[in-house]
């Protein structure tokens, strides 16, 4: 897979990519990430990438020409590349979109800065617009890194075989069950007995029940009741009763 990142701050993305599992995936030629400085496509003597908004108001807007030229250079060597603008107005990124992108041969992530990009870029140069969430950041670079990380780890061979198995079991659409490691007693708090029992059937059942309960308690939006088996419904109902008896009820925060 080829991932192009268009930015006026190439240093902001180069470091994190080099230092992560993505760096290893690049060395192993599983991904090719090219960081392109939009400023190099600005033709005036000062290499200007921003200008004042028509209609007045504060702040600056990304000029269309350098963005158009840099996107154009990507498209002309691969017309099939999916050009994606990172923007608070985009569709909300989730694991389903990560899978969708991981199936493409070439994506081009365009990072906005200042108060935004000229609307004509959005309308005539961009194929797709993605947001990583409803909060204000100073530009698209960190959101682009989030997407690169989430997509890269889904490519065949990027994760080790152990991690790939874990990945599969996480694709349940539920939150994680509670995890413990040594010591058995930490600051007087014990690991649940069942995890020390050696009864793998009982452990599996407990983990499934915990995952169901946590999801019900903290992220009910992720629970689709129609998709739960009758055993899942029973496990969840049982745990809701258990926790009620302990005085723990919704909401979980």
- Name the site residues for ligand 9WO (rule: CB under 6 A): 86-88, 112-113, 115-116, 131-134, 136-137, 139-140, 143
Residues 79 and 81: their CA atoms lie apart, in Å, by 6
Residue 154 beta carbon to ligand 9WO: minimum distance, rounded to whole angstroms: 19
Nearer to ligand 9WO by Cβ, of 88 and 252: the residue is 88
Residue 97 beta carbon to ligand 9WO: minimum distance, rounded to whole angstroms: 12
How large is the angle between the packed helices 95-102 and 141-152, nearest 10 degrees?
70
Residues 117, 61 contacting (CB under 8 angstroms) = yes
Nearer to ligand 9WO by Cβ, of 87 and 209: the residue is 87
Residue 7 beta carbon to ligand 9WO: minimum distance, rounded to whole angstroms: 10
Residue 183 beta carbon to ligand 9WO: minimum distance, rounded to whole angstroms: 41
What is the DSSP secondary-structure string of 50-83?
EEPPTT--SS-EE-HHHHHHHHHHHHHH-TT-EE
Would you call 119 helix, strand, or coil by DSSP?
helix
Residue 127 beta carbon to ligand 9WO: minimum distance, rounded to whole angstroms: 16
Residue from 14, 25, 116, 117 nearest 71 by CA: 117
Nearer to ligand 9WO by Cβ, of 100 and 115: the residue is 115
Residue 60 beta carbon to ligand 9WO: minimum distance, rounded to whole angstroms: 10
Residue from 247, 240, 187 nearest 214 by CA: 240
Nearer to ligand 9WO by Cβ, of 16 and 88: the residue is 88
Residue 16 beta carbon to ligand 9WO: minimum distance, rounded to whole angstroms: 16
Nearer to ligand 9WO by Cβ, of 7 and 209: the residue is 7
How would you classify the pairing of strands 32-37 and 61-62?
unpaired
Residues 13, 35 contacting (CB under 8 angstroms) = yes
Nearer to ligand 9WO by Cβ, of 112 and 206: the residue is 112
Phi then psi dihedrals of residue 135, to 5 deg: -150, 165
**Exposed/middle/buried for residue 246 (C-beta within 10 Å: 0-12, 13-18, 19+):** exposed
Nearer to ligand 9WO by Cβ, of 86 and 101: the residue is 86
**CB atoms near residue 69 (< 10 Å):** 14
């Amino acid at each position: 897979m080829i991932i192009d990142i268009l930015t006026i701050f190439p240093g902001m993305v180069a470091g994190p990519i080099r230092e992560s599992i993505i760096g290893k995936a690049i060395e192993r030629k599983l991904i090719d990430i090219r960081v392109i400085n939009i400023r190099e496509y600005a033709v005036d003597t000062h290499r200007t990438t921003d200008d004042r908004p028509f209609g007045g108001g504060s702040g600056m807007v990304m000029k269309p020409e350098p963005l158009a030229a840099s996107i154009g250079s990507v498209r002309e060597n691969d017309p099939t590349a999916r050009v994606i603008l990172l923007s608070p107005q985009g569709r909300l990124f989730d694991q389903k979109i990560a899978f969708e992108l991981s199936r493409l041969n070439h994506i081009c992530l365009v990072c906005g800065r200042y108060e935004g990009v000229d609307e004509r870029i959005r309308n005539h140069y961009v194929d797709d617009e993605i947001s990583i969430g409803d909060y204000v950041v100073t530009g698209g670079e960190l959101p682009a890194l989030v997407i690169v990380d989430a997509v890269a780890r889904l490519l065949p061979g990027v994760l080790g075989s152990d991690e790939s198995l874990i990945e599969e079991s996480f694709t349940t659409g539920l939150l994680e069950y509670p995890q413990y490691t040594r010591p058995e007693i930490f600051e007087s708090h014990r690991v649940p007995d069942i995890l020390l029992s050696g009864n793998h059937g009982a452990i599996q059942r407990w983990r499934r029940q915990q995952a169901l309960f946590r999801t019900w308690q903290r992220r009910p939006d992720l629970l689709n009741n129609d998709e739960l088996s009758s055993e899942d419904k029973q496990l969840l109902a049982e745990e809701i009763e258990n926790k009620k008896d302990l005085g723990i009820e919704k909401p979980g925060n």
